[in-house]
Amino acid sequence: MKNTVKNIAKRLLPRRIKQELLQITSAVKALKPFTRRNCNICGFTGYFKVFGKPLRTDACCPNCGSLERHRLFMLALQNENLRLKSDDEMCVLHFAPEEILEKKFRNRWKRYETADLFTNADLKLDIERIDLPESYCDLIIVNHVLEHVDDYKASCELSRVLKDDGVLLCMVPIVEGWDHTYENSTIKSPNERWLHFGQGDHVRFYGRDFRKRIEAGGFKLFKEVTSEGDLVLKHGLLRGEKLFCFQKMKPVIE
């Protein structure tokens, strides 16, 4: 019966409609999960959901909602291979906190504060003009924020409020094959920004000069944690995505 319906449809439907139906069928098949994954944040093991624009297969944990970048960030902390002080000593500032990470971090660090200019947070702060004293904290977390703002102003401010040798952990959308970051100040509308930068409120798409752009604000890159190997398969990570670890440079005394 099923084959009969298919054969009738092939004979009666116009060519253009048949091609569109084939494309839709292929797209649906492509979005099916490849295999069971493990979420290192909540412990879920099973099939992950699609997420994003364009849609990414095996991206979102159906239990806690974590995405690839959240799981990579937590793997870096869980492996404890970063240059961090002991948890009890840490004063941590988290800009634009992701809910799934915030829950974990509040349990990990006693002196943990969130910051955002527009949404609910412990502190209402503009990352380009941070209303905090110098040497305020030991660690700053900034995930997928710098592509929204003036990153030179932001990096200078982040360096200012960090203690000497303080650490900045950040992630951004980046194309490592590009020598230079792509920016275009004439692109204003959300639709144009989707087309050029991958999201309606982004103002650039980073190339591999991202490291130097942040270092210009008073930092030195000391480590990159990259999603690779079996961890990509096990935890549903984006191949090659990076967590960048910068350390505040001590001022040179003349």
The domain that holds 179 is classified in CATH as 3.40.50.150
Q: Is 178 exposed, middle or buried (0-12, 13-18, 19+ CB in 10 A)?
A: middle
**CA geometry: angle 173, 177, 182, nearest 5 deg:** 55
Query: Is 39 a domain residue?
Result: no
Residues 17 and 87 in one domain: no
Residue at 243 is within a domain? yes
Position 42 in a domain: no
Task: Indicate if 125 and 204 belong to the same structural domain.
Answer: yes
Whether residue 26 is found in the same domain as residue 136: no
95, part of any domain:
yes
Record the tokens describing residue 147, joined without a space. Answer: 């592509």
**pTM of the complete model:** 0.86
Token digits for 155? 């990096």
Same domain, 114 and 231: yes
Domain presence at residue 182? yes
Considering the domain architecture, whether residues 16 and 100 belong to the same structural domain is answered as: no
24 & 115 share domain: no
Residue 213's CB is within 10 A of a number of other CB atoms, namely 18
The answer as to whether 253 is a domain residue is no
Q: Report the C-alpha gap between 96 and 53 in whole angstroms.
A: 20
Quick one: 130 and 181 in the same domain? Answer: yes
| Same domain? 21 vs 97 | no
Residue 233 CA to residue 224 CA, distance in Å, equals: 20
How far from 148 is each of 117, 118, 127, 136, 145, CA to CA, in Å? 12, 13, 10, 24, 6
User: Is 63 part of a structural domain of the chain?
Assistant: no
Per-residue pLDDT of the chain in tens (254 residues, 90 and over written 9): 545 545 555 555 566 665 665 665 655 566 677 899 999 999 999 999 999 888 899 999 999 999 999 999 999 999 877 878 878 889 999 999 999 999 999 999 999 999 999 989 999 999 999 999 999 999 999 999 999 999 999 999 999 999 999 999 999 999 999 999 999 999 999 999 999 999 999 999 999 999 999 999 999 999 999 999 999 999 999 999 999 999 999 765 55
Tally of domains in the chain: 2
Q: Does 135 map to a domain? A: yes
Domain of 219 in residue numbering reads as: 69-248
Q: Give the CA count within 13 Å in the CB-facing half-sphere of 134.
A: 4
* 21 lies in the same domain as 96: no
* Same domain assignment for residues 14 and 123: no
- Are residues 160 and 83 both part of a single domain? yes
